[in-house]
């Protein structure tokens, strides 16, 4: 194990960003920055020990500020979309920023992904812990909300992300990580040949603005069925209405609970070329599967690589989108004084050829 901290550049208002590198005994490493508590890279070996960076991202903090796209960032207070950017908590309506048509996406243009977080290194645990204070009224939401996000790299090639938070008033708490993964390498083209298995019998149906209608639809007989491992690109341009509305996959899947809410394996991605695998474990109710349908070649990533449409995939563990506005969805309201506490693990490996 080893940890190192260095300068990652300055934001437009002169704040210094730091980047932390963590290495394990297998030659795997991750880089995280206190700008947006962002996961910048994950260098992962394949069966032959060949290492590739499997996360899309930028060279320094100025690129993250300029280009956006939420690459690798922690999203909060609310990940995903809120219809009309309005929520009602305890009978009071709160107006969030409308940054995607009339809706709120990822809490607006000044969410947790734009903050410089406080940082603590826990070297004995191969962990970096980020903390952030979100004041009452931040993002249009009530309560002073104090949050932490910890990244741990284990010798089992796991990236463990642990989120906690406490508010002094009832508020929304629905944080997630928005990393784009390409198991062949961030600079190796699209993820269309990757395969996916996901433990989800249903998904949340969306309207033309990608806001849930409230319907939970069974995946049986649709292009949304990943209960058996299959190629992601097979149905990504299908005529199925939900695929057409999202221009590919950009949907929340209702994860099977199996009678338990604890950490459980919910997905596995495989790159058939490198044989790298990524398993996802979480205690969350849902996961947003997004296939980078709106990545543009103007987004120049690490190494000067112009990222293209579908060059990365996201598996964002979360409460369901627009949850506060649907009584039949698990609630994302955090009661005052209660602890928000959730964990997601991305575990990397490879299949023998």
Catalytic one of 52, 139, 316, 326:
316
Cα dihedral 56→297→108→252 (10° resolution): -60
Candidates 52, 106, 132, 178; catalytic one: 178
User: What's the Cα-to-Cα distance from 107 to each of 92, 120, 229, rounded to whole Å?
Assistant: 18, 25, 33
Active site residue 178: yes
Assign 332 to helix, strand or coil.
Answer: coil
Q: Which residues pair with 310 in a beta bridge?
A: none
Type and span of the H or E element at 241: helix 241-246
The tokens describing 204, both together, are 């949340």
Q: How far is the C-alpha of 94 from the C-alpha of 170, rounded, in Å?
A: 12
φ, ψ of residue 56 in degrees (nearest 5): -70, 140
Contact 240, 222 (CB under 8 A): yes
Euclidean distance between CA atoms 353 and 341, whole angstroms: 39
Neighbours of 46 (CB within 10 A): 22
Are 299 and 69 in contact, with CB atoms under 8 Å apart? yes
DSSP SS3 for 235: helix
d(CA 338, CA 176): 19
Partners of 160 in beta bridges: 152, 345
Euclidean distance between CA atoms 191 and 313, whole angstroms: 7
Known catalytic residue at 316:
yes
- Active site residue ranges: 178, 316
């Amino acid at each position: 194990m080893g940890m190192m901290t260095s300068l990652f550049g300055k934001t437009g208002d002169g704040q210094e960003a730091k980047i932390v590198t963590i290495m394990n005994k297998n030659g795997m490493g991750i880089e995280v920055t206190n700008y947006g508590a962002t996961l910048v890279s994950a260098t992962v070996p394949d069966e032959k020990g060949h290492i590739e960076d499997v996360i899309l991202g930028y060279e320094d903090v100025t690129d993250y500020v300029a280009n956006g796209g939420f690459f690798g960032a922690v999203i909060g207070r609310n990940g995903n979309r809120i219809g009309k950017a309005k929520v009602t908590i305890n009978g009071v309506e709160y107006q969030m920023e409308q940054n995607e048509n009339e809706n709120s996406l990822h809490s607006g243009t000044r969410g947790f992904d734009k903050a410089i977080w406080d940082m603590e290194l826990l070297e004995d645990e191969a962990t970096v812990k980020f903390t952030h204070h979100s004041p009452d009224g931040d993002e249009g939401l009530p309560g002073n909300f104090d949050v932490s996000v910890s990244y741990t790299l284990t010798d089992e090639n796991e990236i463990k992300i642990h989120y906690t938070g406490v508010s002094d008033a009832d508020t929304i708490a629905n944080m997630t990580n928005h990393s784009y993964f390409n198991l062949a390498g961030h600079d190796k083209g699209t993820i269309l040949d990757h395969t996916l298995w996901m433990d989800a019998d249903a998904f949340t149906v969306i309207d033309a603005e990608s806001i849930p209608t409230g319907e939970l639809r069974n995946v049986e007989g649709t292009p949304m069925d990943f209960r058996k491992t299959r190629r992601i690109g097979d149905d990504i341009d299908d005529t199925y209405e939900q695929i057409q509305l999202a221009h590919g996959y950009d949907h929340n899947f209702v994860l099977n609970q199996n009678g338990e809410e604890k950490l459980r394996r919910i997905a596995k991605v495989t790159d058939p070329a490198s044989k790298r695998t990524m398993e996802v474990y979480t205690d969350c109710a849902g996961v947003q599967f997004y296939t980078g349908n709106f990545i543009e070649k103007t987004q120049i990533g690490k190494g000067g690589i112009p990222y293209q449409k579908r060059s990365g995939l996201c598996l964002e563990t979360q409460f369901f989108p627009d949850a506060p506005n649907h009584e039949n969805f698990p609630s994302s309201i955090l009661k005052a004084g209660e602890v928000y506490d959730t964990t997601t693990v991305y575990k990397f490996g490879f299949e023998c050829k």
